Structure 1
Amino acid sequence: MTAGRKRTFDKDEALVKAMHVFWENGYSGTSLSDLTAALGINKPSMYAAFGNKEELFAAALEYYLIHYRGPLITKLTDPPDAPLAQRLQAFLLGVVDVVNCPDSPKGCFYTKTCYESDSAAVPEEITTSLHMIERETVQNLVALLKTEQANGQLSADADLKTLARYLMTIMTGLSVQAKNGASKAELKSVVEWVAKAAL
């Protein structure tokens, strides 16, 4: 009788599964048992592959930012010759696709984590990282809007930091609405209105 082939461990696939567990339950609501059950491995194997719970969460958040948030930002700059309002609408529609995707928990993983960042159950390192991501996102949006202003897509007296914060607020609102049951069609209607009113 031929021995069965040893099952290989796909670290990227496991990371996505862990991300979805944290996304659904939050950091404090996720136990080691939840993670090992989702990953299909025992605790020693999880520690060997990812480290402790905090380290696994940090890796999951980084994966989310690269593979979910990252592509959204490109929609604000591509195609560069398109009107800013058109690119803004594409960006926010991309946000809708992320926060109301049938294959993922409703809402934004990053935003949902921010809700519990002040909890004593969330390590200080994670809270610090979330605040840093927030600052960097606003700074990146301001830099992008400054380029648009120089190209004549925004008025010379536009308050770029306030506009960047406005976009962040819309993103957060879309996440909350999706989590609370708003349909994709309802959120897209909001985006269409925002794209016309924002600029």
Structure 2
Amino acid sequence: MSSGDTPAKAAPKRSRRAFDRDQALATALREFWTHGYETTSVASLTAAMGINPPSMYAAFGDKRQLFDEAVQLYVRTYGAPLPPGPDARSDIAAMLRHIAADYTDPRHPPGCLIITAAANCGPGSQDVKDKLRDMREATKASIAARIRTDVDAGRLPADVDPDGLASFYAVVIQGMNQQACDGAGRESLDRVVDAAMAAWPQPPRASAPA
């Protein structure tokens, strides 16, 4: 090197840009909620989250692990159980009213992640479909158990089928989800709730005094 040459400067070290993990997870939840599990790519996830794939893998593992965390966040944020009421009818009516409001809330994607996220999954994502189906079945079982309690307590007729009635309301919930995704508003879903609760079995008649 001649005396007039300028020494080459060392290349600056690249700094690893920190990111808010909680915010990134919330963003991933919205992506899965909007587009579903299978059609949400790693590229679209990282673009929305503002990070690169290596950072995503380091923070969350693979796409499936990230989805599992997003589902947990959804359950904590939007799936918290409502306070119990005096009877099954009150509980189910309150749940449906809450759903009508939540599924149409403009602050987040329409409908329910647990219902829609695996709607278009292929055979390669069967485990995701199974996971979400099991969650829906658990909700239906809890509705049936609440109804069964009222049958046993005499608040509903003895011939009421708790499992069949729970399946009916599970179908109503899934229909409300589809209506919300199709653009129905809260008033429309509230009318669905009115019709669904009109199908509730009448309580047994009190026996006339002797």
TM range (shorter): 0.7 to 0.9
Q: What's the secondary structure of 1:163's corresponding residue?
A: helix
Q: What's the secondary structure of 2:196's corresponding residue?
A: helix
**CA shift for structure 1 position 40:** 1.4
Q: Deviations over 1:48-84 (max 9, x none)?
A: 111111111111112222321233xx25xx23x3x53
Question: Could you tell me whether the CA contact under 8 Å between 2:38 and 2:125 is conserved in 1?
Answer: no
1:101 aligns with 2:105: yes
Q: Choose the corresponding residue for 2:41, options 18, 31, 37.
A: 31
Task: Report the RMSD for the aligned CA atoms in angstroms.
Answer: 2.0
Question: Could you tell me whether the CA contact under 8 Å between 2:118 and 2:128 is conserved in 1?
Answer: no
**CA shift for structure 1 position 95:** 0.9
Structure with bigger helix share is: 1
**CA shift for structure 1 position 89:** 1.7
Distance (Å, rounded) in 1 between the aligned partners of 2:88 and 2:135: 24
Identity of aligned residues (%): 33
Distance (Å, rounded) in 2 between the aligned partners of 1:92 and 1:64: 18
Consecutive unaligned residues of structure 2, counting only runs of 5 or more, are 1-15, 202-210
The aligned counterpart of 1:16 is 26
* CA separation of 1:135 and 1:85: change in aligned 2, threshold 3 A: closer
* CA separation of 1:184 and 1:37: change in aligned 2, threshold 3 A: same
1:115 aligns with 2:125: no
Q: Deviations over 1:166-196 (max 9, x none)?
A: 1110110000001111111111111122122
Q: Choose the corresponding residue for 1:154, options 148, 153, 156.
A: 156
TM-score, normalising length from structure 2?
A: 0.80
TM-score, normalising length from structure 1?
A: 0.84
Deviates more, 1:59-68 or 1:158-167: 59-68
Consecutive unaligned residues of structure 1, counting only runs of 5 or more, are 1-5
Distance (Å, rounded) in 2 between the aligned partners of 1:151 and 1:66: 32
Q: Which has the larger radius of gyration?
A: 2
